[in-house]
Amino acid sequence: KPMEGRISDIGPRHYTDFLPPVIQKNYGKWLYHEIIEPGVLMHKAESGDEVYTVRVGSARLVSVGLIREICDIADKHCGGHVRWTTRNNVEFMVDSKDKVGPLKDDLMSRKFAGGSYKFPIGGTGASVPNIVHTQGWVHCHTPATDASGPVKVIMDELFKEFQSMELPAPMRLAVACCLNMCGACHCSDIAVVGIHRKPPLIDHEVLENICEIPLAVAACPTAAIRPSKTEFEGKEVKTVAIKEERCMFCGNCYTMCAALPLADAEGDGCAIMVGGKVSNRISNPKFSKVVVAYVPNEPPRWPSLVKTIRQIVDAYKKGANKYERVGDWAERIGWERFFDVTGLEFSKHLIDDFRDPAYYTWRQTTNFKW
Ligand code: SF4
Ligand code: SF4
């Protein structure tokens, strides 16, 4: 239906059309909210109305069948309303406390054939909510690691931390499968970023036809690419040449030119960053720092990656004060000590700039040279 005040009816309908009636009624008039148990929030309105939200984890890349099931649950318990958070948690909202129990029972009774929960409840407060993550090997063209695979195994490992609220503070995790970082890696407590470690291959056969050579040259931040010519099947073709010692494996050129692929089974893997946050509680927002320069890709269960993240989580749980995020904790004890207590190795790859000792900086990007 046309909305009042809208110039046209093109595009998605106005979001207020989709709000549950109790939220429409109390829009902008909320007094406070509290977490009444792990995974369940209560929002109180000035009118006295209450909204109870039950949060469940989701795999983000889900089947149409699972989405239909989510919609059926929303129809059954929530008047047809459901929402996804920015971290891909699914939230079911009901307007009275007596509806929470049946909704929770229904959610926890639904299991996959292997017995795992389809809709595990959790992810609130001092817990690990769903991991913000990107597309991975299935959907994107530049990944150096998968997204859904590492996320699944990390969340399996941290399931207790998802279901309970026993951490010192909320712990936000992110996974981005390349350093374009479509996920929020630069400001997460723990972030996994896919990195390449080898320069692009050059497909001389097709480069001239599928690539704007000046664009590929301009895309390189280190000026490693120059126009070139080569012999291919007896004739001269226009192509590019890459100065490998200048390449930092960022993949910008591949984004511009599909004839410069740099995915490599041995070279690709993950870096781990920690200590970022967007909150300004206790201290200002912070960027994440690289603390592990490389972990190999080990599908399907990424054991080294999972073990390393467990080490960081356990050391944080043991050493942090209440309300301290990972970055606050590391800054209080000192980053040197952070490496001691987590058992991580400090390597030269974690330093950004060796040109002048006065300006050594700690790496906050994953564009670096091996
Ligand atoms: Fe694609 Fe990189 Fe984004 Fe992953 S992080 S979805 S590989 S651009
Ligand atoms: Fe340049 Fe990055 Fe391509 Fe290497 S991967 S050639 S640094 S654009």
> For 61-88, how does the pLDDT look when each residue is reduced to its tens digit (9 = 90+)?
889 999 999 999 999 999 999 999 988 8
DSSP label at residue 200:
P
Q: What percent of the chain has pLDDT over 70?
A: 93
Find the 281 Cα to ligand 2 centroid distance in Å: 38
Using only the alpha carbons of the chain, give its radius of gyration: 24
Find the 252 Cα to ligand 2 centroid distance in Å: 6
With CA atoms as reference, report the closest residue to 287 among 170, 182, 183, 186. Answer: 186
* Contact predicate 223/248, CB 8 Å: no
CA–CA separation, 134 and 98 (whole Å): 37
143 lines ligand 1 (CB under 6 A): yes
Q: Give the CA diameter of the chain.
A: 81
Helix residue ranges, H only, 227-289:
252-256
DSSP label at residue 338:
H
142 lines ligand 2 (CB under 6 A): no
pLDDT per position as a tens digit, 202-252: 999 999 999 999 999 999 999 999 999 999 888 899 999 999 999 989 899
Helix residue ranges, H only, the chain:
21-25, 64-77, 100-109, 136-139, 148-157, 159-163, 204-210, 213-219, 252-256, 303-319, 326-333, 335-342
Asked whether this complex has an ipTM greater than 0.90, the answer is yes
Listed range (21-30, 225-234, 352-361) with the worst mean pLDDT? 352-361
Average pLDDT on 335-355 reads 87
242 lines ligand 2 (CB under 6 A): yes
CA distances from 120 to 3, 53, 160, 222 (A): 37, 14, 11, 46
- Report residue 245: phi and psi, to 5°: -70, -15
* Contact predicate 222/247, CB 8 Å: yes
Average pLDDT on 268-287 reads 92
Nearest-atom number in ligand 1 for the CA of 251 is 2
The reported pTM is 0.89
Query: Residue 333: CB partners within 8 Å, gap ≥ 6?
Result: 319, 341
What pLDDT is attached to residue 359? 53
What pLDDT is attached to residue 208? 92
Q: Find how far residue 305's CA is from the centre of its chain.
A: 15
In the block, which residue shows the tokens 């951490």?
167
Average pLDDT on 285-296 reads 92
